Amino acid sequence: MTCTQLTEKLDDYVDDLMDQAASATLAAHIEGCDDCQHVLASEHRLRESLTDYGESTMPQPDAAFFDRTLAKATRSGTRRQRNRWVMTGVGGTIAAGLALWMLGGMFLKTPDIAESGIPAIAMTLEEPRTLNLVFSSASALANATMTVVLPQGVEVEGFAGQREITWMTSLTEGKNVLPLTLIATSPHGGELMATLRHEGDDRTFRVRVTVI
Amino acid sequence: MSPVDHNQRASFDALLRPHLDRLYRFAYRLAGSKPEAEDLFQDVLLKAFARLDDLLEVGEPGSWLCRVMYNHFIDNRRRFARARLVSVEESQLPGQSVDSLPGDLDPVRDAERLENIMRLEQALAVLSDEHRLVVLLHDTEGYKLEEIHQITGDPLGTIKSRLHRARARLREILGADGTNARP
């Protein structure tokens, strides 16, 4: 046994990870070696300082911090229930959980549910209407992608002639409202699809648009 | 609140409460400052409630929560890296660093401990994030190597090597300034 071996095995010796025989041999060497006793004493001081450091540098939260944080998590947290996206439904009637409403003047009106189960809205030619897609996310998400595919003869205000529009968006935790101002330019109508994607997860919102 | 909601909240509270102290300490060791640690802690509780179904099924909620926190910290490192810069700035301000210790009544011994801890703090600041974290978790917070492996997902050999290198570096720094060489 040499002093170099203590240097090499110091961690294992202090952590008591050596086998019993090797540990006993090293202990016998240390007992007769002033240098190794000094090294070992230094190591014990370092470990003691590291333990001391834990208590002396750890700030304490204020007394109500845990209660407050638990309450906040359960109050504002939305349970994912194994799906990243949690949709909120208006009146709980929409099977897919899609919530949307039409803002028409001063009143709020939920869309009708067509026989197919897809929500339906009626528009008047050349009259802008705002369709709000409402969804909830269990947590804030950055770099989500929204793609809207429009039926023939329906445009998003500011994007004349485009049947498909894609843009990046971010979601806050909880309820998010995404307004789309639509204009019907011809009496065709059809199905509007809005797809939200994030890290391989996606949800598609479908709305049947009729133009009168 | 519906009875179901009430039960879910009660389950969540009962499940998490025994682990909150440890989770808070873990957040502080990761983030390095109180405000950022509390942000991290709150983020993770929100995530945990959103995944209550998963949480109810895991055998060791404490380790699961630490793992979620560690992953969240890594995913948002840029946001939380801010804390390290702030804490360095703050540590240079008078009265912002360690200035008292609990426990000892012997003023000489107290002063010596305080000096050691302040030097240790400076030495820890020199280590890489990975080395500092593993030495703080193992030697300061008392985590076992296997627990650190479960939380970080890093191989056991890598963790052991980081711990060994971190301690060697601390010995080198503290030995050089005489702190650890004092008999």
Residues 131-160 of B with CB under 8 A from A: 135-136, 139-141
Query: Among A43, A53, A83, which would you mutate to test the B interface (most chain B Cβ atoms within 10 Å of its Cβ)?
Result: A53
Q: Is residue B177's pLDDT more than 60? A: no
Write out pLDDT tens, residues A194-203: 887 877 777 7
Instruction: Calculate what percentage of chain B has a pLDDT beyond 90.
Output: 39
Q: Are residues A25 and A95 in the same domain?
A: no
The amino acid present at A209, given as its one-letter code, is V
Q: Which of B47, B50, B98 sits opposite A57 (nearest CB)?
A: B98
Q: Whole-model pTM?
A: 0.59
Asked if the domains B1-97 and B105-183 are classified in one and the same CATH topology, the answer is no
**Confidence (pLDDT) at B21:** 93
**Confidence (pLDDT) at A1:** 66
CA-based nearest residue to B5, from A176, A202, A81, A180: A81
Residues of chain A with pLDDT under 70: 1, 76-118, 132-138, 173-179
The amino acid present at B158, given as its one-letter code, is T
**Confidence (pLDDT) at B161:** 94
Residue A175 maps to which CATH number?
Answer: 2.60.40.10
Whether A73 maps to a domain, the answer reads: no
Q: B105-183: what fold?
A: Arc Repressor Mutant, subunit A (1.10.10)
Q: Is residue B56's pLDDT more than 90? A: no
**Confidence (pLDDT) at B122:** 85
- CB-based contact (8 Å) between B118 and chain A? no
Q: Which residues of A touch B (CB under 8 A)?
A: 11, 38, 41-43, 45-47, 49-59, 61, 65-66, 69-70, 72-74, 76-82, 138-139, 173
Write out pLDDT tens, residues B64-123: 999 999 999 988 876 665 444 333 333 433 333 444 445 555 666 667 777 777 888 888
Whether A72 maps to a domain, the answer reads: no
Query: Among B30, B49, B116, which would you mutate to test the A interface (most chain A Cβ atoms within 10 Å of its Cβ)?
Result: B49
**Confidence (pLDDT) at A52:** 85
Give the CA diameter of chain B.
65
Instruction: Output the average pLDDT for chain B.
Output: 79
Contact A45 B116 (CB under 8 A): yes
Cα B63 from Cα B168, distance rounded (Å): 28
- The mean pLDDT of B167-178, rounded to a whole number, is 81
Q: B1-97: what fold?
A: Rna Polymerase Sigma Factor; Chain: A (1.10.1740)
**Confidence (pLDDT) at B25:** 94
**Confidence (pLDDT) at B138:** 95
- With both helix axes pointing from N to C terminus, report the angle between A65-76 and B3-16 in degrees, rounded to the nearest 10: 140
Q: Are residues A92 and A172 in the same domain?
A: yes
- The mean pLDDT of B119-138, rounded to a whole number, is 90
**Confidence (pLDDT) at A89:** 29
Whether A70 maps to a domain, the answer reads: no
Cα B183 from Cα B178, distance rounded (Å): 10
Q: Are residues A36 and A108 in the same domain?
A: no
Whether A78 maps to a domain, the answer reads: no
Could you tell me the pLDDT band of residue B19, with boundaries at 50, 70 and 90? very high
**Confidence (pLDDT) at B167:** 94
Cα A181 from Cα A81, distance rounded (Å): 32
**Confidence (pLDDT) at B44:** 94
Cα A133 from Cα A98, distance rounded (Å): 8
Write out pLDDT tens, residues A48-75: 889 888 877 788 888 899 999 998 888 7
**Confidence (pLDDT) at B88:** 36
Neighbour-count burial of B31, counting CB atoms closer than 10 A to its CB (0-12 exposed, 13-18 middle, 19+ buried): buried
Q: H-helix or E-strand containing B11?
A: helix B3-16
Q: In chain B, what are the domain boundaries? A: 1-97, 105-183
Q: Domain of A39? A: 3-56
Q: Are residues A113 and A196 in the same domain?
A: yes
Query: Among B136, B139, B170, B172, which would you mutate to test the A interface (most chain A Cβ atoms within 10 Å of its Cβ)?
Result: B139
Residues of chain B in contact with residue A55, where contact means CB-CB under 8 angstroms, are 102
Residue B14's DSSP bridge partners are none
Cα A123 from Cα A210, distance rounded (Å): 6
Min CA distance, A51 vs chain B (Å)? 5
Residues of chain B in contact with residue A79, where contact means CB-CB under 8 angstroms, are 8, 49-50, 52-53
Could you tell me the pLDDT band of residue B179, with boundaries at 50, 70 and 90? low
ipTM of the complex: 0.78
Residue B30's DSSP bridge partners are none
Cα B39 from Cα A93, distance rounded (Å): 37
Whether A165 maps to a domain, the answer reads: yes
Residues 66-85 of B with CB under 8 A from A: none
Contact B46 A41 (CB under 8 A): no
Task: Decide which of A105 and B126 is more confident.
Answer: B126
Cα B167 from Cα B59, distance rounded (Å): 32
Min CA distance, B4 vs chain A (Å)? 12
Q: Which of B8, B102, B120 sits opposite A50 (nearest CB)?
A: B120
Whether the CA torsion A95, A101, A102, A108 is positive or negative: it is: positive
